[in-house]
Structure 1
């Protein structure tokens, strides 16, 4: 039985019926959580913040004129959604699996003058940023998006490593996956996203940027509301289930979260579109977009967190991410399962 509420107490108790026969109990130090939320809002770029515990939204805040029901540019957090789409395509036999060479899926979109090693690049290599191709991000980004054919440009860049070697973060990898999904399914990435994620989750997915050939940008420039992102975070927290329906396999979620390499930018582990770190001695899985577009899933605390931030330069990169993670760690510490 829950203890009676007493005015002034800093502990708030939530008992929510889960799919298990028993009830799960979360204890939240509300004073500590609220203090961390205030500090999150004082970070230089913060626009919105959502925190849910056991599926119950306990924080819904906006700053600088922004709200959680307004569409935000989620930047490279889009890569986390592309990863989900690949998993759904594998489940539907549109893609054979993560070991399938991407050239098999791209068909006529593959130029004739590629390096022979490109034939060894698999779907999994692209998901984990281990293609071996020269990056299209960073200083190469502007030239890549100015090219007349993004797929061809990405595939004909020099091989600077072996497929499966260390992580080289590149949005071109994610865009190749968007092109592969389009070619293999005969449908646009937008149509797949709306059909497989948007409609089942009850979220709106607006059209976003396309390349010169009409392929939706894989891994950047998607627009979603923070509330929609929270539903995606909850889908992963609940091992692919939404309203009792299995939308995404638990196996794919575990494979996506499994560490395969490490980021040279923030030293965190990386799987299929997901980073992994430890905060408050707890494993945290997160997606990260330029400027501070972030989605955190903390399974041990039955907790999900979404933050959106100013998407315009300068972003302060990993330094700003560390500031956010420090505040998020305090939010996690304020919640005890």
Structure 2
């Protein structure tokens, strides 16, 4: 089965690297083209799963109160003039699950958003298309708000948190990635991680937040992150806290999904972790 998967992978002309591990043992590790397996690459929106991990750690350390914590007080300095009263209902959990209700900053709104003078304020000023806690509205602006919350609540930038909370304990490299005009690291996009380091991050989740005898994620965070809270209107996949979820071949599959084919799949029932970089 692994050989068949590898043959099919080699036929994908845009696939750069593939790593397949089962029971923690690497079965396939191949660079097909592009950067090496230890070279950090842009994992695009797979960054949202990493941001979710940082949020879980922040809650575990008491930096954040929990998923029900309102975010408007934390982001008070960036609220738009005459803010919509519903902003006061936004919580950490709404941001992680893409159920903020705010209009998208992705798609045809993306260019306008990233050229705005204040990304956080621009995202908060988007008109509400649903109530907070309603349907899933996928928007990188929503995840960027989560990066801003982490930064404001901790007094440290998101890159520093990523290095201290994930990079050091996992033994992985997380280089700096782009920031907004106020210095907030891009939340949910453009993080850099090598294929091997992304596998290591995936193994942390496969092992329920504990790796090499060290607990990194709070107990129960992986389960909560993988519980579907909304459904993508485009793919039909479920969405938890920064992770997509679906059934495939009779198994629950949890995955981080970045534009262009930056993928991290975890199938707990098979002890399987797969990385694909394109």
TM-score, normalized by the shorter chain, greater than 0.5: yes
Measured in 1, the distance between the counterparts of 2:9 and 2:148 equals: 37
Matches within 5 A, 1:1-337: 32-309=1-278
Residue deviations 1:215-258 (CA, integer Å, cap 9, x gap):
00001011100111001100000011111011112311110000
Measured in 2, the distance between the counterparts of 1:68 and 1:34 equals: 19
Q: Give the TM-score normalised by structure 2.
A: 0.98
Measured in 2, the distance between the counterparts of 1:120 and 1:44 equals: 46
Q: What CA RMSD, in Å, does the superposition of the two structures yield over aligned residues? A: 0.9
Residue deviations 1:137-193 (CA, integer Å, cap 9, x gap):
011001100100000000011111111111110000110000010000000000000
Aligned partner of 1:27 in structure 2 is: none
Measured in 1, the distance between the counterparts of 2:119 and 2:268 equals: 37
Measured in 2, the distance between the counterparts of 1:245 and 1:128 equals: 27
| Alignment length (residue pairs) | 278
C-alpha contact (below 8 Å) 1:106/1:184 kept by paired residues? no
User: Shift of residue 113 of structure 1?
Assistant: 2.0
User: Larger Rg: 1 or 2?
Assistant: 1
Secondary structure class of the residue paired with 1:307: strand
Measured in 2, the distance between the counterparts of 1:42 and 1:223 equals: 26
Measured in 1, the distance between the counterparts of 2:251 and 2:126 equals: 39
Deviating 4+ runs (over 6 angstroms): none
User: Shift of residue 34 of structure 1?
Assistant: 1.0
Unmatched runs of 5 consecutive residues or more in structure 1: 1-31, 310-337
Measured in 2, the distance between the counterparts of 1:112 and 1:123 equals: 22
Measured in 2, the distance between the counterparts of 1:38 and 1:271 equals: 32
Measured in 2, the distance between the counterparts of 1:249 and 1:221 equals: 25
Residue deviations 1:89-130 (CA, integer Å, cap 9, x gap):
000111111111111222322234211111111110110101
Q: Give the TM-score normalised by structure 1.
A: 0.81
Measured in 2, the distance between the counterparts of 1:112 and 1:85 equals: 30
Secondary structure class of the residue paired with 2:133: coil
